[in-house]
Amino acid sequence: MKSIKTLHIIQLFICLFLFSNQNIKAQKIDTDSLLTVIIKDMKNNKPDYKHNIQRALLGKKLAPDYLDFHLVLGRNYDFVNQKDSARYYYNYVIDKNPKYQEAFLYLINLDLEEKKYADGVATANKAIELYPDDKTFRLKRIAFYSLQNDTANEAKYLKSIKAKFPNDPEIQQLLFELYSTVNMDRVGMYYNYTSISRDGIGPWHLASADYLRQRLWGSLIGRVSYAKRYSSNQVMASGLQFEVESYLYAKNNNYSYLDAAYSKDDAFPEWRLGYSYFHNFNHGWEADLGIRYIKSQDNSDIKSLNVGLGKYFGSYWINLRSFIQDEGPSFTFTSRYYYKTKFDYVTLIAGYGTSPDDRTRSAEYEARMTLKSFRISAGFNKLIKSHYIAGILITANEQEYTPNKYQTELDFAFLLQYKF
């Protein structure tokens, strides 16, 4: 009798265990389904972040140790600009389980947005210790030092990341993308002097002032240029040009370039318009496709198609671009070596034919398209005392001015910018 009673007790405990286990499984299934609903909504074109927060709070209540709910809470609070709550949940996830690699990235991006650079460096260093082979955290650390104008540490960690990944062709490309999306403003001046070997022609002067505003979405540049050209010691042409440029960044490392310039003076074309679409491939490759349009002061116009291909090799960048029009193509080959920051490089350029992107000669673009020209340039840019950017570019252009007759044009260009 006693053994039968014991058997019943054992059966009762087994039933209770199975019932409890089924409840746990059901709860797990319910919380997983709830998390799936939240993530799916976040990927919609019009996500409901506030509703997602309520869902995630319920999920956290049902499964307090399920860190994915804490992580999505942080993301949704971030999207509704409740930054303190977002920061709390990111830190909570990292403290409980540092294997949540994306929590580090979200917290670092929040530090960038709120300009908490010291906190960002500390988080990036912690992430690098845990994930030493992840390039993203090392790039973010460089961004923090760049934004603080700490060029010593910026250069130190640029050297470090290149040493860590010596054969990675994407490093310089990633650095370029990084520098292109950090918040930055620059004001600058540019001057170009052109001497011409033919008697009675030249010199030409081109000066401009510009302001650049760079943010995560891209950059916007406003520029005012003044040109004066002499012939036989008389002013042949002079005037002002107003210009707007923009780089707009999209997903998957793609971006667009837009340019529009207007002038009513004969030193410039009336309109100069341009658009290019850039796509970054793996292994440091980049390609671009675009159009250019120039309308002269006499109302004649020219359209051209541009095609370009670029490649990063460690600290080197090379690019070949062609402008295709009815009168014949032009080619430009550009190479750069970055020896420190994005603003520190030496460059060599070679080209054939006249480019519609050549601001110095844009007023004569139509006349020069059917004529030959061979040019070579050399120059450098340097960042000085964290804020000043100075550059020099010297160009020799062997230009055909009538069939089989050439003149030598020497350009001396000087750039000075202040970044803040």
Mean pLDDT across the stretch 41-56? 90
**Domain region containing 123:** 31-181
So what's the pLDDT on residue 4? 52
Do 340 and 238 share a structural domain? yes
Do 224 and 79 share a structural domain? no
So what's the pLDDT on residue 16? 41
Contact indicator for 160, 373 with CB cutoff of 8 Å: no
**Distance (Å) of CA 106 to CA 59, 103, 236, 274:** 21, 5, 58, 36
In this structure, of 3-17, 109-123, 187-201, 328-342, the range with the lowest mean pLDDT score is 3-17
Which residue in 140, 135, 179, 182 sits closest to 161, CA to CA? 135
Q: Is residue 99 part of a domain?
A: yes
Q: Is residue 167 part of a domain?
A: yes
Over residues 184-217, the pLDDT tens digits come to 899 999 999 999 999 999 999 999 999 999 988 8
The shares of helix, strand and coil residues in the chain, as percent rounded to the nearest 5, are 40, 40, 20
* pTM for the predicted model, two decimal places: 0.70
Query: 42-56: b or e for each residue (b if 16 or more CB lie within 10 Å)?
Result: eeeeeeebeebbebb
Last residue of a domain, one of 161, 181, 201: 181
Do 246 and 176 share a structural domain? no
CA atoms of 12 and 206, how far apart (whole Å): 94
Do 40 and 127 share a structural domain? yes
So what's the pLDDT on residue 2? 47
The distance between the two most distant Cα atoms of the chain, rounded to a whole number of Å, is 128
Which of the pair, 177 or 63, is modelled with greater confidence? 63
Do 348 and 401 share a structural domain? yes
Do 359 and 264 share a structural domain? yes
So what's the pLDDT on residue 104? 96
So what's the pLDDT on residue 154? 83
In this structure, of 63-67, 179-183, 310-314, the range with the lowest mean pLDDT score is 179-183
Q: Is residue 13 part of a domain?
A: no
Do 229 and 128 share a structural domain? no
Do 234 and 133 share a structural domain? no
Do 59 and 134 share a structural domain? yes
Q: Is residue 20 part of a domain?
A: no
State how many domains the chain has: 2
Mean pLDDT across the stretch 2-17? 47
Instruction: Band the pLDDT of 282: cuts 50, 70, 90.
Output: confident
Q: What is the DSSP letter of 102?
A: H
pLDDT over 70 at 117, yes or no: yes
Do 365 and 247 share a structural domain? yes
Over residues 332-370, the pLDDT tens digits come to 999 999 988 889 999 999 999 999 999 999 999 988 988
So what's the pLDDT on residue 360? 94
So what's the pLDDT on residue 28? 47
Q: Is residue 9 part of a domain?
A: no
Per mean pLDDT, which of 147-156, 242-251, 389-398 is the most reliable? 389-398
pLDDT > 90: percent of the chain: 67
- Beta bridge partners, 415, equal 190, 391
| CATH number where 268 lies | 2.40.160.40
Q: Is residue 17 part of a domain?
A: no
Last residue of a domain, one of 159, 181, 203: 181
Residue 370: phi and psi, rounded to 5, are: -90, 0
**Distance (Å) of CA 328 to CA 70, 98, 256:** 61, 59, 26
So what's the pLDDT on residue 151? 77
| CATH number where 136 lies | 1.25.40.10
Do 303 and 331 share a structural domain? yes
Do 313 and 301 share a structural domain? yes
Q: Is residue 114 part of a domain?
A: yes
Q: Is residue 22 part of a domain?
A: no
